[in-house]
Amino acid sequence: MSGKPKLHYFNGRGRMESIRWLLAAAGVEFEECFLETKDDLIKLQKDGSLLFQQVPMVEIDGMKMAQSRAIGNYIAAKYNLYGKDLKERALIDMYVEAIIDLNELLMTHPFQPADKKEQHFATIVDKATNRYFPVYEKSFKARISNIPTIKKFLQPGSQRKPPLQEKDVPKLMKIFH
């Protein structure tokens, strides 16, 4: 055992990317085990590794953690990235929950039926532009991207994943549906 956290997910962003960002921000190296087929998921489900039969799953500190928010909260608290007091933590939680809301919209877009795609895309653009992005203003982005560990994660060759492509959808449908 290397002692590094081990991330179980498909080779894409989805609900694991914020966990990758958190570990990168904390300067923690991690290993990844990518699900390539439905059988890979079934194997984890059958061997009892997945508390709710779902990924993301992260092996860390002797635990097999499920639920992406719980995983994120644990890593943030462990590496002192979860605020200095209750109020700062509340603020972090609000920013995180809003990003999760937006991410759910983005993640589900490639899976929308053809006749709903255009409307769904319009909703994403509207919410991103008018509801979420104004809060995460440019100065916030500049500040975060200049944290040395994040700067490194943003360089080519890191474990950061590219946005999901339409070509990846059939493979994911085979694994998760």
Would you tell me which residues interact with ligand GSN (CB under 6 A)?
14-15, 53-56, 67-68, 176
What's the min distance (Å) between Cβ of 85 and ligand GSN? 26
**Cα 51-104-130 angle, rounded to 5 deg:** 150
DSSP state of 162: P
What's the min distance (Å) between Cβ of 87 and ligand GSN? 25
Q: Are 28 and 3 in contact (CB under 8 A)?
A: no
What's the min distance (Å) between Cβ of 165 and ligand GSN? 16
Tokens for 68, please give them. 């992406």
Question: Alpha-carbon distance 24 to 113, whole Å?
Answer: 35
Give Dmax over CA atoms of the chain in angstroms.
Answer: 49
Pick between residue 15 and residue 20 the one whose CB is nearest to ligand GSN. 15
Q: Which residues of 152-166 are buried (b: 16+ CB within 10 A; e: fewer)?
A: ebeeeeeebbeebee
Pick between residue 103 and residue 149 the one whose CB is nearest to ligand GSN. 103
What's the min distance (Å) between Cβ of 108 and ligand GSN? 10
Pick between residue 18 and residue 82 the one whose CB is nearest to ligand GSN. 18
Question: Alpha-carbon distance 50 to 8, whole Å?
Answer: 10
Q: Are 25 and 150 in contact (CB under 8 A)?
A: yes
Pick between residue 25 and residue 72 the one whose CB is nearest to ligand GSN. 72
Pick between residue 15 and residue 153 the one whose CB is nearest to ligand GSN. 15
Residue nearest to ligand GSN (CB): 54
What's the min distance (Å) between Cβ of 164 and ligand GSN? 11
